[in-house]
Amino acid sequence: MVFTLFYVYADNILLLSASVASLQAMLNICDDYGCKHNILYNSKKSVCLKIGSKWSSATDCVRLNNEDIKWVSSCKYLGVMFVSGLTLPVDCGYVKRKFYAACSAVLVDCKYANEFVKLHLVKSYSLPLLTYCIGSLDLPSYKVKDLGVCWNDTFRKIFGYNCCECFSTIITRYRSNIFMIYANRTFCITLRIPV
């Protein structure tokens, strides 16, 4: 028995397979279905990612619409960047870059505003980028802490603190702890799963 699984969300399809042969068989089924229902899959936007003990070894090409699908070392699926490797790690660097860019855009546009207005705008527009999909991912604590550093950096920037200065009075009163956000989102996602 070969492990195969697929997820479909809107116009995104994720195929999971334990072997290249079964992956090709799944792609053939998708291709046949597409031909029967006038659906053309874009093989240029499709990629393959290897996970497991043989992730670094050479792999046969798989084809969709008579075109090769390229093997990549990382890919984005529904806004989350996954990296090829022994396990399936999430690339938090991508999320952090988006968060810092959004914070910079907000803070540049309101540089003469009150600190608490800036804080509210950053919480409204930038924090969702940092916490997107966080409840459905099983992140190790060091990655959650890394995301917390981003959040702390934003507070330092808004309130004018240096990187080594203590700003615990502001943190305890006005800041949402990134660990609490992670725990609450995980809890909410778990409650929504029907038993």
For the record, the structure tokens of 46 come out as 């499709």
Q: Which of 83, 107, 134 is the last residue of a domain?
A: 83
Q: Are residues 75 and 117 in the same domain?
A: no
Higher pLDDT, 37 or 182: 37
Q: Are residues 59 and 114 in the same domain?
A: no
- Under the banding of pLDDT at 50, 70 and 90, the label for residue 3 is low
- Under the banding of pLDDT at 50, 70 and 90, the label for residue 52 is confident
Q: Are residues 128 and 69 in the same domain?
A: no
What pLDDT is recorded for position 116? 84
CA 91 – CA 143 distance, rounded (Å): 9
For the record, the structure tokens of 95 come out as 């999320």
Is residue 182 scored above 60 in pLDDT? no
The total number of structural domains that make up the chain: 2
What pLDDT is recorded for position 99? 92
- Segment 53-66 shows an average pLDDT of 85
Q: Are residues 23 and 102 in the same domain?
A: no
What pLDDT is recorded for position 146? 85
Higher pLDDT, 172 or 18: 18
Residue 131 burial (CB count, 10 A): 19
Q: Are residues 25 and 46 in the same domain?
A: yes
Q: Are residues 66 and 137 in the same domain?
A: no
Task: Render pLDDT for 96-146 as a digit per residue (tens, 0 to 9).
Answer: 999 999 999 999 988 888 888 898 899 889 888 888 877 667 778 888 888
- Segment 156-166 shows an average pLDDT of 75
What pLDDT is recorded for position 194? 46
Q: Are residues 79 and 96 in the same domain?
A: no
CA 163 – CA 142 distance, rounded (Å): 19
Strand pairing category for 47-49 and 74-77: unpaired
Q: Which of 83, 101, 131 is the last residue of a domain?
A: 83
What pLDDT is recorded for position 32? 92
What is the percent of the chain with per-residue pLDDT over 90, rounded to a whole number?
Answer: 15
Q: Are residues 123 and 46 in the same domain?
A: no
Q: How far is CA 128 from CA 89, 105, 125, in A?
A: 21, 15, 7
Domain around 68: 4-83
pTM over the 0.85 mark: no
Task: Render pLDDT for 143-157 as a digit per residue (tens, 0 to 9).
Answer: 888 888 888 888 888
Q: How many CA atoms lie within 13 A of 43 on its CB side?
A: 15
- Segment 54-65 shows an average pLDDT of 85
Of 27, 12, 69, 67, which is closest to residue 46 (Cα–Cα)?
69
